[in-house]
Amino acid sequence: MRSTVPVLAALALALTACDPNALGTGGTSVPAPAPGAPGDHAAQLAALGQPQPEDTGAHYDRKAWGEWAYDSASKCNTREQILVRDGDGEVVDGQCKPTCPKDFCWTSRYDGVTTKDPSALQIDHIVPIAEANRSGARNWTAPQRAAYYNDPANLVAVTARSNQSKSDGDPGKWSPTQGYWCDYATGYIAVKVKYKLTVDDAELAGLTKMLATCP
């Protein structure tokens, strides 16, 4: 498998420049916790702050969030980078197109389904863009929206079926297969905290329930 570490690092650097919440005091980078990382779950939940009612989202315009970013040097777009990051044993050609030479190279992080066909996978925003729009992103600029849309910390390769089942639901309305609750909940919280997005009561209850099963 071709290494994409330099590509992902370059994208992360570009996203940091656009993300108003990616820098802490003194200009120190504040990386999001890895999905599924063990830790103090009470502290993770506390970092979300007090629950707040969601915005109506009536101003939401999907087109305003852009599309996958493309890096001309690597010839990779964000979708392809996530497929490579989340794959196991895939082969990548000079145009950044991944193929799978074995029985399967991808395991969907929402339902555990395996596949060797990258076209069977969709790249999901762990915290959906419509949800972000309802929980604090109303006044974001176009560069901030584009950075969010392409942030690897908020992206995961999953089956089309599980992604469509989730739609723009939050943890108060949807959850993955129980075996993936920890990955999903910790990843969801990391993104909400990173971008200073709020949660409502049902969302917090759903996250609390999932984290209760984590190490």
Give the CA angle between residues 43, 49, 52 to the nearest 5°. Answer: 145
Q: pLDDT exceeding 70 applies to what percent of the chain?
A: 82
Confidence of residue 140 (pLDDT cuts 50, 70, 90): very high
Q: In the chain, where are the structural domains located?
A: 5-211
pLDDT in tens, 21-41: 332 222 222 333 344 445 689
Instruction: Give the amino acid at 212.
Output: A
pLDDT in tens, 192-204: 999 999 999 999 9
- Supply the mean pLDDT for the chain: 85
pLDDT surpassing 50 at residue 76? yes
Q: Are 11 and 69 in contact (CB under 8 A)?
A: yes
Average pLDDT over residues 138-149: 96
Query: How far does CA 131 lie from the centroid of its chain?
Result: 12
What contacts 86, CB < 8 A, 6 or more positions away? Answer: 106, 109, 156, 157
pLDDT surpassing 60 at residue 7? no
Query: What pLDDT, on a 0 to 100 scale, did the predictor assign at position 38?
Result: 54
Average pLDDT over residues 88-115: 96
Query: What pLDDT, on a 0 to 100 scale, did the predictor assign at position 85?
Result: 96
User: How many Å apart are CA 91 and CA 140, to the nearest integer?
Assistant: 38
Of residues 20 and 58, more confidently modeled: 58
Average pLDDT over residues 65-73: 94
Beta partners for 125?
155
